[in-house]
Amino acid sequence: MAAIPISTVTGAPVSGLILGMDGISGLRGWQWLFICEGLPTVLLGVVVILHLTDGPEEASWLQADERDWLIDRLRCERLVREAHGKHTLWEALAHPRVIVLSLAYFGTAAASYALGFWLPTIVKDFGFSNLQTGLTTAIPYLVGAVAVVIWPLLSDRMHERKWNTALAFLVAASALALSTYFPDPVHKMASLSVCAIGLFAIAPLFWTLPTAFLSGTAAAGGIALINSIGNLAGFVAPYVMG
């Protein structure tokens, strides 16, 4: 989860530089952006297929005792969940909690897309160059990268998930709404940085909720449904918001 904001912290300034390649070899800056950032992604996809394992049983890079500990820990957690009730795949897909979590995730996805799509445009309106826009755009994500580690650690120490997740939603939504009222660039960026704190802390907190009552195939199906419904926000939200 931390890799998501960190990727933008490093990627935004690089994207700003690539956009400056406008006109080279007859291509526009955005075309160079698609080429320079698209090709490595395709190549890394091949690396993932060849090198990532499906589970700790196949993780040769773990020591034998580490592998055995992890397998046992996952088995114990699965047994605890199943003791509260074992669900089939179809029961999971129709579970009221899964539907509610799907709608909640739709909201956070809409906010994430809003920040991702509009932040560079908002910063560009400050009168910055492409490189300056990339560097400034990275600020909320840098703050988010810190929050994505610290907030879940605090949640662990409190042994509490639901209220921490709800508070992260509230922080993200309030700060995002508040940012629209500030014409001053410093105040606007401060609000968007607070929004990033809540927005990026949501993910590691939120995904503990479906796995708290689902396991195995039911968990896989439930998580897939939540992701599918939630990410429809990328299509629906622009039509709703304009």
Helices (H), 2-63: 3-19, 29-51
Predicted structure pTM score: 0.76
Amino acid at 92: A
Sequence length of the chain is 242
DSSP sequence for 195-219: HHHHHHHHHHHHTTTGGGT--HHHH
Whether the per-residue pLDDT at 196 is higher than 70: the answer is yes
Q: Choose the most confident range, by mean pLDDT, from 64-73, 75-84, 120-129.
A: 64-73
d(CA 7, CA 241): 27
Q: Looking at residues 117-123, what average pLDDT do you find?
A: 83
Give the pLDDT band of residue 14 (cuts 50, 70, 90): confident
Instruction: For the chain, give the mean pLDDT.
Output: 88
Determine the pLDDT at residue 125.
82
Give 3-52+84-241's CATH code, choosing from 1.10.760.10, 3.30.590.10, 3.40.710.10, 1.20.1250.20: 1.20.1250.20
* Three-state secondary-structure class, residue 18: helix
Place of tokens 């939120």: 206
Question: Which of the residue ranges 45-59, 72-86, 154-168 would you say has the lowest mean pLDDT?
Answer: 72-86
Q: Looking at residues 223-229, what average pLDDT do you find?
A: 92
Determine the pLDDT at residue 84.
64
Q: Looking at residues 112-120, what average pLDDT do you find?
A: 83
Give the pLDDT band of residue 46 (cuts 50, 70, 90): very high
* Cα distances (Å, whole numbers) of residue 159 to 82, 98, 133, 205: 20, 22, 40, 11
d(CA 99, CA 170): 20
Q: What are the tens digits of pLDDT across the range 15-44? A: 888 988 888 888 998 999 999 999 999 999
Give the pLDDT band of residue 4 (cuts 50, 70, 90): confident
* Three-state secondary-structure class, residue 194: helix
pLDDT: is 129 or 105 the higher one?
105
- Cα first-last separation, the chain: 29
